[in-house]
Amino acid sequence: MKPISGTWNLPATYNKAADRIKDYYFEHIDELNPSKLSHFLQRIRVCYGPHWEKELHLALLPMVDETWELWNEYKDGNFSSAEEKKRNGLREAEGEGSEVKNLFPGVKAYSSKWAIDHLPEFAWEQGFGDVQNDYSIIKRLGMLKDLRQSGDIKRWLSDGWASRWKWLLDNPTVIVSHPVHTVNYLYYGLESGFVKGKEFEKCESQLIQMIHTQYKGKLNDDMIFNNYIYAWTHMIIGASGYYVKFLPEYNQRYGNIIDILTKNKDRIFSISDDITAEVGLCFVICKIPHQVNMYRDEMLKRINSKSGIVESDGADGDINLLEHTNMITIMLLNGLKYMRGYLNEDKQRLMYFKLFEEYKNFEQ
């Protein structure tokens, strides 16, 4: 399969930089934890083609069983261990340094106390979102038939989607502390068919209003500004189907978001490497070449000449902490050449069955 032609016939400088980051991560692939490996491989294929499907499926096979187990933990309200884990995680986030927090989308700095005070309902709601997240990825990869009780999980998610969306609307401050979680909830619901058509458009308008209202008067704080920008970038990413389609006609619905990102370029550059790369990626999705190239040139400056990757302050060279930033940088520099290059569901299924025995043999 050939890459998408046209706008993204890139200068060798961008291609070489993207390839060097990719090569570095494959040289250190065994050091990535399962979550980061999954994130890396899901996105590498939209840059370098569907022949990466094998590595992706091997990495995601454990997610099938884990999703079933997570659903069992939440469906009957038996989530005491998850609640405690969430509580400890929020306390840990509250105590981390701001440099590390700035590396990640959806940092929790400003609602740690709020979320702890609202447990167990917060643990329940976020757990519901976690199951939906995994379900959406498994569905996208054509692996639903291998998810135990997938029909029951789908019904549970579908029946509960509207009430959980209402919970988010009733607790709007969560968009300040968990922007990615909140935005993804809507778009994963769209992907999975739990919300559609006019109802989706209504929910999307509610989300936009939530972002404007909850961040109003708070943007002088860099951390809150960081989360504000992540909320907008994930709306663009979600609208693309999570790297399935470009949005060249973005002005019809997302023009105001692009205006916000464009007007805040200097501040975005000053906040973190991660947010800089992600905003640039949104311009790739919307096919705005002059903006894309400004962000590409900026990220080229931030690549370490010795290692060939972006080594952000606060990560101490940790390949897992740096994975998100470097993967998004690859996507920005590469231009998502194979974004429409997904294998169809039948081919994915055949590949899955071939790999399943490999995985089970490896586990033994």
pLDDT, greater one: 106 or 76: 76
Partnered with residue 303 across adjacent β-strands are: 310
pLDDT range class, residue 79, cuts 50, 70, 90? low
Asked whether the beta carbons of 313 and 99 are under 8 A apart, the reply is yes
Distance between CA atoms of 245 and 285, rounded to whole angstroms? 8
Q: Whose CA is closest to 61, among 117, 143, 166? A: 143
Please, which residues have CB within 8 angstroms of residue 14's CB and are 6 or more apart in sequence? 296, 300, 333, 334, 335
CA Rg value for the chain: 20
pLDDT at 303: 96
Residue entry with tokens 């509250």: 94
Q: What is the pLDDT of residues 296-310, one digit of tens each?
A: 999 999 999 999 999
Is 315 strand, coil or helix?
A: coil
Torsions phi, psi for 303 (to 5 deg): -80, 130
Residue entry with tokens 């909830």: 185
Q: How many angstroms separate the Cα of 13 from the Cα of each of 55, 289, 321?
A: 27, 16, 25
Q: Which two tokens stand for residue 349?
A: 């299924």
Mean pLDDT, residues 265-276: 95
Q: What is the pLDDT of residues 200-216, one digit of tens each?
A: 999 999 999 999 999 99
Q: What is the pLDDT of residues 33-62, one digit of tens each?
A: 888 888 888 888 888 876 666 667 777 777
Enter the pTM of the model. 0.83
Mean pLDDT, residues 70-78: 76
pLDDT range class, residue 362, cuts 50, 70, 90? very low
